[in-house]
Chains A and B, each alone.
Chain A
Amino acid sequence: GEDVEQSLFLSVREGDSSVINCTYTDSSSTYLYWYKQEPGAGLQLLTYIFSNMDMKQDQRLTVLLNKKDKHLSLRIADTQTGDSAIYFCAESSLSGYSTLTFGKGTMLLVSP
């Protein structure tokens, strides 16, 4: 079955760049997503990338996709304390393209 892996924790200083990494196993993945979850809150879609793209930039966010290695990363430029949250990588595949398989999440802690 599908599997999505993420590192569990990342700590950065305010103003630095953060890079959160994700690997997935399903070669039929069509969309890959990054969601943000703040304490006690639901999931907020940050960005997504279609599998035939290798990069997408949206303001401070840059997503890189290496389809050969099944590796996805999210780079947050000029990280702010408000970026502290759990970040989930998720994928959807052709076989069940409407359902998402999530990683366990990466907790990002931004210190002043």
Chain B
Amino acid sequence: DTGVSQDPRHKITKRGQNVTFRCDPISEHNRLYWYRQTLGQGPEFLTYFQNEAQLEKSRLLSDRFSAERPKGSFSTLEIQRTEQGDSAMYLCASSLVRGSGNTEAFFGQGTRLTVV
């Protein structure tokens, strides 16, 4: 296992198209997070899963965004009817939560989305 893997690394799409990104977390990790990072900003939290359950969603996650983690392993993030403002780096992270709490989240290299 080499860490969190995201696919694709880059995506260019026309405005109005739908896009889907995939994240494969570190294999034993039960938590999976999605963040969005725009140019010159830090990452902003979008949503996270505990196993297959989506436990929290940011107000940044509009109705056009949907995330799934059907079997508690990989996750997909879909953006429908993309807008130019969706252009950003989409980062996935995973962590292992034990009874004592959660410490480290490991990040993937991200998917850079450009909407033209």
Contacts and interface: CB of A to CB of B under 8 A. Distances in A.
Interface of A: 4, 30-31, 35, 41-45, 48, 88, 90, 92, 96-105
B106 A102 contact: no
Contacts of A35: 107
Nearest to A86: B42
Q: Which 7 A-B pairs have the closest CB atoms?
A: A102-B42, A42-B109, A43-B107, A42-B107, A99-B45, A98-B102, A104-B42
Given A96-B56, A98-B31, A98-B97, A103 B42 contact: yes
Contact of B104 (A42, A48, A105): A48
A102 B56 contact: no
Interface of B: 4, 31, 33, 35, 40-45, 48, 56, 91, 93, 95, 97, 101-110
Given A97-B102, A99-B48, A90 B42 contact: yes
A92 B43 CA distance: 13
Contacts of A100: 35, 43, 45, 105
Contact of A45 (B45, B104, B108, B110): B104
A4 B48 contact: no
Contacts of A98: 31, 33, 48, 95, 97, 102, 105
B1 to A, nearest CB: 16
Contacts of B4: 42
A50 to B, nearest CB: 8
Nearest to B109: A42
